[in-house]
Structure 1
Amino acid sequence: MTNRKHLTPSEVERLLEAARRGKNPERDYCLIWMCFIHGCRVSEISTWRLSDIDMEEGNVFVHRLKNGFSTVHPLYARERKALREWLEVRKTYRGADSEWLFLSNRGKNMTRQRIYWLIRNYSAAAKLEINAHPHMLRHGCGFALADRGIDTRLIQDYLGHKNIQHTVLYTASNAKRFKEVW
């Protein structure tokens, strides 16, 4: 096992494939993808409400915790598809009339503990060489953005960091940033 604190995009894909084979594939796939693509903390995604999603405008309001900057992120095509699939299945869940985006089988919002449990189980099912947990999706987002050459300040805003020192972690260890220096 490695001490790495993030998932790579290919590991996230393997996690998503495992979720597609799970008992709640639409919900779990959507939850994992959105957690990764928006760099959410588990407590942020577990408290998303239907009202945070605007499918018409193609936006999601991300309530950042830990005194972070809350922002509006665009919904990308892949997640819009995943959201549509989940929202259709969600209608059949107990508690479908509730405000929570991600419902448990009991009709309540999913707890942090349940999301941790899901990620751990999907990590094992995907045969990842790392014991994944939800925060690794957030870090994976930061590293993936840095790998794409996204400006550190933009990553800071995207992840809701107030202190740039929390963001530099993603760019400082990125060897790709030196590729075009010469």
Structure 2
Amino acid sequence: MMTRLLLPTLLLCLPLAACGNQDAGKTDPASGKAASPAAEASTVGKTVQDATDKARKELAQGNINISNDQSDKAEITPQGELLINGKTVTTTASQRALLLDYRKQVEAIAGAGMDIGVAGANLGVKAAGEALKGIFSGDTNGIEERVNAEASKIEAQAKQLCTLLPGMMAKQQALAAAVPEFKPYATMDQSDIDDCGK
């Protein structure tokens, strides 16, 4: 199932990009002191944002893989062509319009997933910074509340993402009805929508 694979993959990759930050823990050349948690958070945030921007560009300019666990590789090009195992499926202008519409929906959901990934990476850095600051200052009051308040914003973003799924399923079903070659890849069902909020 594409949505089951696409979104978790994006959400997992973005925090990993943050962990791969080359500048974390380095010293500030001007002062010779270790970078502050805020500076590191800013650097990690930029690293994650750069990775996200690159992923968005690749998503917009490259083919989108719509294959599931089948052996055939199916993709939708930026021009709205359906490729199966590298071969273009002959389509009419109206079928290409449906393919492009579906592709835009996939991009929108992937983009929303990336936004959640960025927010999650930033929250992780912020939580770690808050915890360290609390340990060194001895003032740990309110850390959990502040982190939970930020986490609830991310949860709201995730719920908003779930509201996009019914539209995606409708577009997928319309496309499957119009383009028989696409039908094997139209595997989304109501359980995907129902499970999203969980």
Higher alpha-carbon Rg? 2
Same fold (TM over 0.5): no
Hey, which of these two has a bigger chunk of helix by percent?
A: 2
Higher relative CO (Cα under 8 Å, sequence separation at least 6) belongs to 1
TM value normalised by structure 1: 0.28
